[in-house]
Amino acid sequence: MPDLTPPDVLDFQNVSKTYPGQPRPALNDLTLRVPRGSRTGVIGRSGAGKSTLVRLISGLETPDAGRLLVRGDALGPATRAAHQARTGLVFQQFNLLAQRTVLRNVTLPLELRGVPRARRDALAREHLDLVGLGEYAGRYPAQLSGGQKQRVGIARALVTAPDLLLADEATSALDPETSAGILNLLLDLQRERDLTLVIVTHQLEVVRAVTTHVAVLDAGQLVETGETAAVLRAPRHAATRALLDAHRPQVPLAPDETLRRVTLPDLNPDTLAALARAGARIVQAEPHPQGLDVWIAAPAASPEWAVLA
Amino acid sequence: MTWDALWPLLWQGTLDTLWMVVPAALCAQLIGTALGVLLTLTRPDGLHPQRPLFRVLDAAVNVGRSLPFIILLVLLIPFTRLITGTSIGSTAAIVPLTVAAIPFVARLVDGALKDVPRGVVDAARAMGASTAQTVFKVLLPEARPALIHAFTVMIVSLIGYSAMAGAIGGGGLGDLAIRYGYQRFETGVMIATVAALLVLVQLTQWAGDRAAARSDHR
């Protein structure tokens, strides 16, 4: 019987990569599978190997050792172009062409593939409408805000109808509110278009808000992987714990208090009353795709946690 | 000298200067841009690192830029004769002017292309752009304002260089200033010529700055 299950979108098999002149590998023996339709976060500090991972997937680098299969194929001269067309990339610095209008930025990937002008203009306009920027087709990137530039970047990434969307620190240059908007857009598009979403980030809140699975990189190695909720609840590796701790607000706590993080749809009177009953106080609140990301300091034994959770 | 006698001289001098500078500028921009692109592509951190080729090109550009124009003019006489059939006159001066401007343009283009953000180039590559597509759809268009600026600077330099073409009977405004102003002590001609050169340079710079600003959407 032939195996009819479609191959994983990404399948890293013991992949290593060392850049010339560098003492240690940027990626070391990485084995990781990204199943079709998943939302996978790749998290790590700077220097963990995230950029190298992105460069390998996008075909800008090739592994020194091991194999990277993209949709079941090794990326080579014969297969690279086809896979690049089906992989949409969204970047931290947007990487829009400053001398092209918004419309011409979105048509670029189609232009590179020789799609006729009328067709690529129609597709680009359709995708600008999709990200809510139909009115901005004739402007230049310099005339847009950061969030708008990233929406153009997303339109450009999707215009070739990819099945894999790779977001490389896509919200790291944006303020929290704008980030939440972009993450929501990515989530909606992922569901609508049945995309595999790979989010590479150093921001834990991005992984928490968007992903189903997470892979933690540290010093070029995969140190922990699993379902996002499970990994964040009970991190096994020191690097994961460090990422979690780095995000805790630095506030003085009473001896019996602990700091907890909850996601609330809003801060309505009922919630505030529940917090007051629990003797809890809000330490920090930030916008989040599902409402607010709130850090709460409360007595460890408070029974009211259940109300919030 | 009266204005009536001076005008035809100035007019002819301006035409001669333009006849030397404009074709030389166009040729130099074409060849210099190609050379600049080659430098950018082959440098060690370029898209197609070719260390030996890069070293040769880089050295050639440096040598070309360090040769005084008057020396180049003389050195190139056999080459000039080969191309134009003569080694004297305005047309003959086009050859050394072009050769002098090529390394200049190459260096400016190389610098302009280096200023295109690496991330933008990588993004295009990741979208599947070939090297030619990266050069013609990303690098050169993104560097356009800087390229226009380079072109302007080069024309202004060539106007200056063209004054030396008088040494091979090239004519032009510089030649006029030397023959009348210096050798015949006609201070009036000297001043008028300098004024004409000034106007030419100012116009070029103004037009170049305007074109660069209009084409820049950053």
Report DSSP letters for B195-211, one per residue: HHHHHHHHHHHHHHHHH
Task: Give the one of B122, B138, B145 whose C-beta lies nearest to A97's C-beta.
Answer: B138
Task: Give the one of B119, B122, B129 whose C-beta lies nearest to A112's C-beta.
Answer: B129
In terms of DSSP bridges, do strands A164-168 and A87-91 run parallel, antiparallel, or are they unpaired?
parallel
Q: Judge residue A21's burial from the number of C-beta atoms within 10 Å of its C-beta, 0-12 exposed, 13-18 middle, 19 or more buried.
A: exposed
H helix or E strand, kind and range, residue A43: strand A39-43
Q: Is residue B142 part of a domain?
A: yes
Q: Residue B184 has what pLDDT? A: 82
Structure token pair of residue A27: 């990626």
Å between B139 CA and nearest CA of chain A: 10
Query: Which of A230-244, B33-47, B168-182 has the weakest average pLDDT?
Result: B168-182
Residue closest to A209 by CA, chosen among A95, A290, A120: A290
The tokens 């048509």 sit on which residue? Answer: A107
Q: Is residue B56 part of a domain?
A: yes
Chain B touched by A96 (CB under 8 Å): yes
The tokens 């979403």 sit on which residue? Answer: A197
In terms of DSSP bridges, do strands A221-227 and A213-218 run parallel, antiparallel, or are they unpaired?
antiparallel
Averaged over A32-57, what is the pLDDT?
Answer: 92
Cβ atoms of residues A10 and A73 within 8 Å: no
Does position A309 have pLDDT exceeding 50, yes or no? no
CA distance linking residue A301 with residue B56, whole number of Å: 75
Q: Is residue B3 part of a domain?
A: no
Q: Is residue B38 part of a domain?
A: yes
Residues A42-66: b if buried by 16+ CB within 10 A, e if exposed: bbbeeebbbbbbbbbbbbbbebeeb
Chain A touched by B138 (CB under 8 Å): yes
Instruction: Verify whether the Cβ–Cβ distance B217 to A140 is below 8 Å.
Output: yes
What was the ipTM of the complex prediction? Answer: 0.86
Cβ atoms of residues A7 and A71 within 8 Å: yes
Instruction: Verify whether the Cβ–Cβ distance A60 to B138 is below 8 Å.
Output: no
Q: Residue A308 has what pLDDT? A: 56
Q: Is residue B2 part of a domain?
A: no
Instruction: Verify whether the Cβ–Cβ distance B128 to A60 is below 8 Å.
Output: no
Task: Give the one of A85, A93, A98 whose C-beta lies nearest to B128's C-beta.
Answer: A85
pLDDT single digits (tens) B97-126: 999 999 999 999 999 999 999 999 999 999
pTM for the predicted model, two decimal places: 0.84
The number of domains in chain B is: 1
Instruction: Verify whether the Cβ–Cβ distance B119 to A108 is below 8 Å.
Output: no
Which of left, alpha, beta for A28 (phi over 0: left; psi -120 to 50: alpha)? beta
Q: Is residue B1 part of a domain?
A: no
Instruction: Verify whether the Cβ–Cβ distance A111 to B216 is below 8 Å.
Output: no
Q: Residue B150 has what pLDDT? A: 92
Averaged over B134-147, what is the pLDDT?
Answer: 96
Structure token pair of residue A9: 């979108």
Query: Which residue is closest to A80 within chain B, CA to CA?
Result: B128
Q: Residue A302 has what pLDDT? A: 63
Chain B touched by A97 (CB under 8 Å): yes
Instruction: Verify whether the Cβ–Cβ distance A97 to B126 is below 8 Å.
Output: no
Query: Which residue is closest to B132 within chain A, CA to CA?
Result: A112
Q: Is residue B188 part of a domain?
A: yes
CATH number at residue B210: 1.10.3720.10
Query: Which residue is closest to A162 within chain B, CA to CA?
Result: B127
Cβ neighbours of A111 in B, within 8 Å: 137
What DSSP letter does each residue of B121-136 carry, written as one string?
HHHHHHTT--HHHIII
Residue A284 binned pLDDT confidence (cut-offs 50, 70, 90):
confident
Give me the numbers of helices (H) and strands (E) for chain A, helices first please. Answer: 11, 13
Chain B touched by A112 (CB under 8 Å): yes
Q: What percent of chain A has pLDDT over 70?
A: 95
CA distance linking residue A223 with residue A30, whole number of Å: 10
pLDDT single digits (tens) B30-63: 999 999 999 999 999 899 999 999 999 999 999 9
CB atoms within 10 A of CB B71: 10
Coil vs helix vs strand at B66: helix
- Please state the separation of Cα B123 from the chain's center in Å: 32
Helices B90-114, B51-66: inter-axial angle, 10-degree rounding: 130
Chain B touched by A161 (CB under 8 Å): no
Q: Is residue B30 part of a domain?
A: yes
Residue closest to B48 by CA, chosen among B126, B135, B137: B135
B179 vs B130, which has greater pLDDT? B130
> Across B1-137, where does the E strand assignment appear?
none
Coil vs helix vs strand at B67: coil
CA distance linking residue A207 with residue A172, whole number of Å: 12
In terms of DSSP bridges, do strands A10-17 and A27-34 run parallel, antiparallel, or are they unpaired?
antiparallel
> What residue type is assigned to position B88 of the chain?
I
**Domain carrying residue B37:** 8-215
pLDDT single digits (tens) A254-266: 877 777 777 788 8
Highest mean pLDDT among A232-241, B68-77, B134-143: B134-143
List the beta bridge partners of residue A227: A213
H helix or E strand, kind and range, residue B110: helix B90-114
The tokens 């928490």 sit on which residue? Answer: A208
Coil vs helix vs strand at A265: coil
What DSSP letter does each residue of A183-225 carry, written as one string?
HHHHHHHHHHHT-EEEEEES-HHHHHHH-SEEEEEETTEEEEE
